[in-house]
């Protein structure tokens, strides 16, 4: 009798731990961030990000990052809305629009920096066993003295430790520099 219970229990647990791709749209995440800019002014710091399901197909997102290097300190805030369509448990195309506000101070002078960006992104989220991933493209429109636009590739992969927590990494790759992060995510 006990040899029937062990396989059934393990089958239930394995099935229960497998995470749906749609779970990537309702979480809170703490991230260590590294921004590598081509001009050589790399910054590092901490960030917090979250997504909240509004309905089956819509979600809200917000993020905050505190970054610094030897010359500057920067605060980056994001807020946005997204739309997703769950094709099946393992494949979810999505689109998202964000407003990004960056404020910085130079450590050696009283000069400051303020930048507003608008970001439109499309991609696909997926799940393979306990690994969740997102791949896609974002287009940034940067306000300032001149309007500049840039396309950025993004990707992330997180491994589910259990039904609530996962660990992983993410990257945004662009011509002007890259952003890398590693973090822990709590899904609710």
Query: Per-residue pLDDT tens for 40-91?
Result: 678 999 999 999 999 989 999 999 999 998 888 999 999 999 999 988 877 8
pLDDT tens digit sequence for 1-41 = 444 444 444 444 344 445 566 678 899 999 999 988 766 67
pLDDT reported for residue 3: 43
DSSP structure string for 113-155: EEEEEEEEEEEEEEEETTEEEEEEEEEEEEESSS-EEEEEEEE
* Alpha carbon distance 87, 41 (integer Å): 42
What backbone phi and psi angles, to 5 degrees, belong to 85?
-135, 115
Whichever domain contains 174, its CATH number is 2.40.160.20
Cα separation of 77 and 104, whole Å?
A: 12
The Cα–Cα gap between 175 and 186 comes to 32
Cα–Cα distance between 68 and 153 in angstroms, integer? 24
Q: The domain containing residue 167 runs over which residues?
A: 2-187
Query: Rounded to two decimals, what is the model's pTM?
Result: 0.82
Give the pLDDT confidence score for residue 41 in this predicted structure: 73
Number of domains in the chain: 1
């Amino acid at each position: 009798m006990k040899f029937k219970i062990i396989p059934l229990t393990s089958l239930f647990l394995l099935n229960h731990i497998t995470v749906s791709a749609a779970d990537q749209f309702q979480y809170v995440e703490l991230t260590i961030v590294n921004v590598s800019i081509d001009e050589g002014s790399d910054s590092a710091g901490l960030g917090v990000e979250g997504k909240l399901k509004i309905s089956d197909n819509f979600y809200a997102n917000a993020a905050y990052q505190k970054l610094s290097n030897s010359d500057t300190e920067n605060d980056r805030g994001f807020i946005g809305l997204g739309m997703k369509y769950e094709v099946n448990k393992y494949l979810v195309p999505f689109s998202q629009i964000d407003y990004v506000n960056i404020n910085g101070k130079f450590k050696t002078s009283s000069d400051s920096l303020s930048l507003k960006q608008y970001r439109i992104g499309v991609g696909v989220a997926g799940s393979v066993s306990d690994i969740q991933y997102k791949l896609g493209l974002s287009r940034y429109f940067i306000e300032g003295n001149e309007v500049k636009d840039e396309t950025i590739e993004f990707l992330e992969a997180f491994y589910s430790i259990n039904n609530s927590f996962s660990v992983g990494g993410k990257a945004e790759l662009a011509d002007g520099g890259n952003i890398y992060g590693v973090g822990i995510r709590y899904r609710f």
